[in-house]
């Protein structure tokens, strides 16, 4: 009645920014990502007769994070009840630790809920397919659905709980070089930023429409193993995400001045023949994609801007211990 | 048969970015601006029997600038011909000098064509009303239509040459503090950037629609002398312009990292009780609007980011000499 799982963050090349259903976390458009091979979250879930507890990075989590974890565990208990399991009544002791920076745009909520879904399903005795696990993780944090998946994932937007899940796709091997510009917590959470964008940005519907188009183009580029096309689509799409967010009222800015400097630097790299493309999630960090052989050269070019990490495609969420 | 005119740049609070008619320079949406009291362009036009010549800032202008001037003078010659004047056959010796930086986002083309329209009409003997002069200046550079106007101008988009012109509006007194981040020429001209935005940005139509809405809100805020509302509309609208541009493919970035730093600084000013709002045209410079009494405090806060100039509402284009 205890399990430990491990999952990694993922970085989207086609972004998730906007919900069609806030409660079920069904996105307004699909997305596509690479699962990383570093910055894992390791989460253990042990059933107890008491109420849920949640320890994060060595300390008891705050009330908000604990409530979000309990709400997620309620989904697992619902699944246990549907399967006629006694564990439907159990509490859970959740202990989680992130190897990467928390809440600074490195998607710790994605690895966190992917690991939690995987560990909790096993601890509660609920048997789920990869697709069902992806759907479950999605309910905790949308992008967690993708961290279930090895290497490269497409998250189908779907139109219901059953049809909104991630699955693997094939893509050419690539590296990601992340620049951690500022690892403090962001001022506006992704959740709040998404809502503000949908409610106040005049570009929101066009953003959703262009994301649908870009995802189709990206899947075609991946299938064709066309790295240049993948990179161009990624960089334009990242600008479009920050643009739709910037256009909110009042304006929201996730990118820092240093982030824009890195975008300029990446443009300069290409002009000098080093083929790299930049993207950024809802925070100041910038992630550069390049061919694996170019990763060291790219890292050297941006070392002055912040802490550098280089990633390869990594494993999906997986159990590491069951007791 | 010679005239000298002077005109000032203007800074739009509601921006012009997108043409409905490229040939006639009819914008896709109206705009609103403050004419500045510094950085004037002074232009003399003297009729000659030879072909047109154009001297800019003390040197013979390049072929592209000369061709653009001749094309503009052709419009004046057409008006002269319509009025049955002999001057329709004349060439013109144009000598122009800018007191502000050229082609770095301080709208030297606006003051330039406003001064040229005013001087040329007089030199060629064509009598034009303020509205007709605004329409004429518009053909040289869209935003020049607004530099004809004293203090604050609305440029009605219109749907034809006759209905697309600027006229004065009343607005509360305010100051503008400009920060010249980088006074070198910009990489993508406004003309080319506008075309790329219209052709490749998925947000273009929403940008035009929101500009129409914002202009109506801005005119109401000006009529109500509501400075806070004017400022909020200005800052959000500026973000939306740069957002629609950033979303082009490939992305276009006019703002420099330093520009984003100044936006952050202005947000910090407001949090400390100094009411200021930022905007930026198609270049890296940032212009901060504030109440006149706050201008010195605002200037002191941004002095480290570049050269500072403080503006009050200035005069429209006007003749300074006729010979």
ipTM summary value: 0.92
Best of A15, A29, A198, A203 to disrupt the B interface by mutation (most B CBs within 10 Å)?
A: A203
Best of B216, B242, B243 to disrupt the A interface by mutation (most A CBs within 10 Å)?
A: B243
Residue A105 reports pLDDT greater than 80? no
* Per-residue model confidence (pLDDT) at position B74: 98
Query: Which residues of chain B are within 8 Å of residue A242 when distances are taken between CB atoms?
Result: 243, 246
β-strand pairing of A91-98 with A53-56: parallel
* Per-residue model confidence (pLDDT) at position A100: 78
* Per-residue model confidence (pLDDT) at position B320: 97
For residues B39 and B100, give the distance between their C-alpha atoms in angstroms, rounded to a whole number: 4
Residue A182 reports pLDDT greater than 90? no
Q: Is A48 helix (H, G, I), strand (E, B) or coil?
A: strand
Residue A106 reports pLDDT greater than 70? no
* Per-residue model confidence (pLDDT) at position B1: 84
Q: What is the percent of chain A where pLDDT is above 90? A: 93
* Per-residue model confidence (pLDDT) at position B103: 46
Q: Please tell me which residue, A12 or A183, carries the higher pLDDT value.
A: A12
Residue A26 reports pLDDT greater than 60? yes
Q: Is A206's CB within 8 Å of B210's CB?
A: no
Of B207, B249, B260, the CB nearest to A260: B260
A211 — pLDDT class (breaks 50, 70, 90):
very high
Of the candidates A77, A111, A75, the one whose C-alpha atom is nearest the C-alpha of residue A96 is A111
Q: Is B263's CB within 8 Å of A246's CB?
A: no
* Per-residue model confidence (pLDDT) at position A104: 47
φ and ψ at residue B46, rounded to 5 degrees: -125, 130
Of the candidates B186, B161, B137, the one whose C-alpha atom is nearest the C-alpha of residue B10 is B137
Of A232, A236, A246, the CB nearest to B239: A246
For residues A187 and A185, give the distance between their C-alpha atoms in angstroms, rounded to a whole number: 7
Best of A240, A276, A284 to disrupt the B interface by mutation (most B CBs within 10 Å)?
A: A240
Query: Which residues of chain A are within 8 Å of residue B256 when distances are taken between CB atoms?
Result: 260
List, in sequence order, the alpha helices (H) in B183-286. 190-200, 204-223, 227-246, 257-271
**Between the CA of residue A262 and those of A175, A179, A181, A258, what are the distances in Å?**
17, 9, 10, 6
A108 — pLDDT class (breaks 50, 70, 90):
confident
Number of other residues whose CB lies within 10 A of the CB of residue B92: 28
> B287 pairs with which residues across the strands?
B178, B279
For residues A91 and A70, give the distance between their C-alpha atoms in angstroms, rounded to a whole number: 9
For residues A3 and A45, give the distance between their C-alpha atoms in angstroms, rounded to a whole number: 5
Q: Least CA distance to B262: which residue of chain A? A: A257
Q: Residue B212 burial (CB < 10 Å; 0-12/13-18/19+)? A: middle
Query: Which residues of chain B are within 8 Å of residue A206 when distances are taken between CB atoms?
Result: 202-203, 205-206
Give how far A25 is from chain B: nearest CA, Å. Answer: 25
* Of the candidate ranges A129-143, A183-197, A305-319, B165-179, the one whose mean pLDDT is the lowest: A183-197
Supply the pTM of this predicted model: 0.94
For the stretch A241-288, pLDDT in tens is: 999 999 999 999 999 999 999 999 999 999 999 999 999 999 999 999
Of the candidates B297, B296, B300, B276, the one whose C-alpha atom is nearest the C-alpha of residue B288 is B276
Of A243, A256, A260, the CB nearest to B243: A243
Q: Is A247's CB within 8 Å of B257's CB?
A: no
Query: Which residues of chain B are within 8 Å of residue A249 when distances are taken between CB atoms?
Result: 232, 236
For residues B268 and B275, give the distance between their C-alpha atoms in angstroms, rounded to a whole number: 10
For the stretch B172-212, pLDDT in tens is: 999 999 999 875 666 898 999 999 999 999 999 999 999 99
* Per-residue model confidence (pLDDT) at position A323: 85
Contacts of B249 (CB under 8 A, 6+ apart): A232, A236, B200, B201
Number of other residues whose CB lies within 10 A of the CB of residue B96: 25
Residue A2 reports pLDDT greater than 90? yes
For residues B183 and A27, give the distance between their C-alpha atoms in angstroms, rounded to a whole number: 44
Contact present, B32 and B218 (Cβ < 8 Å): yes
B144's tokens: 């020049």
* Per-residue model confidence (pLDDT) at position B101: 66
φ and ψ at residue A3, rounded to 5 degrees: -150, 150
Q: Which residues of chain B have pLDDT under 50?
A: 103-104
* Per-residue model confidence (pLDDT) at position B107: 61
Residue A183 reports pLDDT greater than 90? no
């Amino acid at each position: 009645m205890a399990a430990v799982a491990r999952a990694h963050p993922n970085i989207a090349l086609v972004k998730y920014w906007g919900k069609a259903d806030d409660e079920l976390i069904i996105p307004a458009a699909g997305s596509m990502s690479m699962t990383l091979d570093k910055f894992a979250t390791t989460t253990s879930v042990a059933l107890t007769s008491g109420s849920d507890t949640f320890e994060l990075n060595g300390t008891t989590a705050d009330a908000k994070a604990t409530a979000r974890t309990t709400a997620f565990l309620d989904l697992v208990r619902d699944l246990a009840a549907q399967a006629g399991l006694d564990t439907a009544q159990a509490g859970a002791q959740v202990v989680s630790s992130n190897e990467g920076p928390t809440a600074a745009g490195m998607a710790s909520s994605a690895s966190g809920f992917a690991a939690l879904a995987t560990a909790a399903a096993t601890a509660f005795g609920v048997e789920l397919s990869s697709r069902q696990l992806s759907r479950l993780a999605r309910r905790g944090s949308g992008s967690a659905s993708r961290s279930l998946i090895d290497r490269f994932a497409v998250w189908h937007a779907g139109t219901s709980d059953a049809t909104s899940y991630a699955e693997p796709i094939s893509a050419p091997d690539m590296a990601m070089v992340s620049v951690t510009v500022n690892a403090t917590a962001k001022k506006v959470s992704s959740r709040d930023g998404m809502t503000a964008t949908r409610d106040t940005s005049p570009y929101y519907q066009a953003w959703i429409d262009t994301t649908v188009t870009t995802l189709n183009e990206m899947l075609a580029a991946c299938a064709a193993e066309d790295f240049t096309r993948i990179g161009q689509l990624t960089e334009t799409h990242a600008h479009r995400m920050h643009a739709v967010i910037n256009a909110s009222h009042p304006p929201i800015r996730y990118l820092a001045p240093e982030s824009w400097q890195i975008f300029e630097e990446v443009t300069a790299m290409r002009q000098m023949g080093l083929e790299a493309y930049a993207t950024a999630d809802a925070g100041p960090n910038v992630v550069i994609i390049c061919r694996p052989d170019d990763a060291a050269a790219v890292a050297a070019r941006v070392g002055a801007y912040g802490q550098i990490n280089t990633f390869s495609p990594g494993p999906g969420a997986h159990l590491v211990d069951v007791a």
